[in-house]
Structure 1
Amino acid sequence: MNSPKNTVTSKDVAKLAGVSQSTVSRVFIPGSSVSEKTKQKVFEAAKALNYRPNAFARSLTTNESRLIGLVFPDADYPIHMKTLQLISSELQKQGYSTVLIPWQVDEKDNHSIPNIFQYRVDGVIAASATFNKTLYEECEEFNIPVVQYARVVEGTRSSYVISDNYEAGQQAAQLLHKTGVTSAVYLTGEVPTFTNVERKNGFIAEFEELAGQTPRVVEASYDYTSSLDTIRELLQTSQRPEAVFCATDNLAMAVMDVARLECGLDIPDDLQVIGFDNIPQTEWLSYQLTTFRQDFKRLARESVKIIVDQICNQNSSLVKMMVPVKLIERKTTKV
């Protein structure tokens, strides 16, 4: 094994393979014009010498890092890790690597993010609803394309690929109306997002049209534990709704736990519950939650397609795409 003091360089690989140093560099640039025979010679020499190309050094020459920055909130919510894997896989197919840029909030509630430009990323895919607009402006200034994944930060000029949340809201209203519900609540979290507002608006408009009643909107915390007091207050009053459509599956499961364990309610006879996201726990026997499945594979595929097109073709046109969702009916709504 080569020691740090005797680092193998592209010059060493070129000498062993019998090619020029520039040829070695081109071999490790995806899409470059090098014959298969030459590539094989270089790969064999690189393997024999345990050579690893320096991506950063290559970026200085090509002015491309082949890196995409992924800006995500914390990975605690089950779908976040899955979507990270899907996006990374799609990018790898296109010859790109990823660098994860976590979105954080400090003790003073100030948003912070590592300097994205120190990574020399070619583009950014953002899936944080609280993404700082300043970073969008900086990306625009430096001609770094941004695609928003499953989220939209209003007031920013960038492409996005999201689920059709308005249609999801309409489908939830139609399902509840079909089962005879006349009083419903939309339970949301404390952070306002474009996609959540669209879902709420679709639900309210359709329920008003079908049932002639306006659903209440109740704001809780997106965190399971922190939401419990608000849910108790909602379910332990004389104005308890017949159904609750929740902004996330976490909230829906919190509603179910309070309803069953503390209020003695039967689901779905006393209370119908609908969630959103179809996280793995929704299939557990104790929940069997009716919810909506987002097509994360397509969301990832379309997001990567857009970002690669904008990088390779310098295409600055904005793409706004909505992908249909699928209603998954289980045992928390009446048949």
Structure 2
Amino acid sequence: MSAEAMPAATSRADLRGRLQDWLPRLVLSPSVAAMLVFVYGFIAYSVFLSFTGSKMLPSYDWVGFDNYRRLFGLSAWTTALVNLGIFASLYILISIAIGLMLAIFLDQKIRAEGTLRAIYLYPMALSFIVTGTAWKWLLDPGIGIENTMHLWGWESFRFDWIKDRDMAIYTLVIAAVWQSSGFVMAMFLAGLRGIDNEILKAAQIDGASNLSLYRRIVIPMLRPAFLSAFVILAHLAIKSYDLVIALTGGGPGRATELPATFMYSYTFTRNQMGVGAASAVIMLMGVASVIVPYIYAEMRQGEDR
């Protein structure tokens, strides 16, 4: 190559390298800009509205923490928080327990594992609206499980939880657990398949029973899967809205009111946008209290590696 051609080739190579560096940024920039505006921008706007006297429409008169004081003085918000505590705790614990048992069952190299895994995972492919509607039909005493048992001759059978103010919250737990247990199973199954078999064989040679094998070795090694499952399920529980609307509509009365349904009703039907925004901020803080420690722990583990 001549001396004159070398600078031209070098400049073309530099230009090509710069284009390769900038092309991913150019392609991703519209998505990043949209996320900044429509996610983080509106989060910031909601936080701002929670400190204003907004009613039916946004208002910019500053009222400080008045909306938060009003929020925690409302019996409906207290009910929503109590219901969330019941729903979230049962939903997370039962989903993790069932998911772990299903994962251990499938890890025994049984026949038709692929078919069973698909069946267990199928509910997660449905939206919560579909799940809520299906379980609403199943739990309706007039057309669902109770009516079917009566048609089969079991006249004394009663399963009218969806109409009972004291038991309706547990119908949400049933539907949510049915949908999420398969997903938790997949997480635990991946964790089980990642455990070194040599460790398990060594423990068996030392005389460890199956129960002690799982209790002392397998389950402690599934700690990352437990943590991930907890974070995902807690996040789903806090922001549950569509399942409640489809299954119970928040009723009977306010028996199944959750913070998400409270936020919607106060913002869009009761024309209390400031109070609704304050409840949304509290929900955001709840989600952050779960996710931020998880991200921090993951980052610390990455640095340790």
Coarse TM-score class (shorter-chain normalised): under 0.3
Structure possessing the higher relative contact order (Cα contacts under 8 Å, 6 or more residues apart): 2
Bigger Rg, which one: 2
Higher strand proportion (structure 1 or 2)? 1
Tell me which protein shows more helix as a share of its residues: 2
Q: TM-score, normalised by structure 1?
A: 0.23
Instruction: Return the TM-score normalized by structure 2.
Output: 0.25
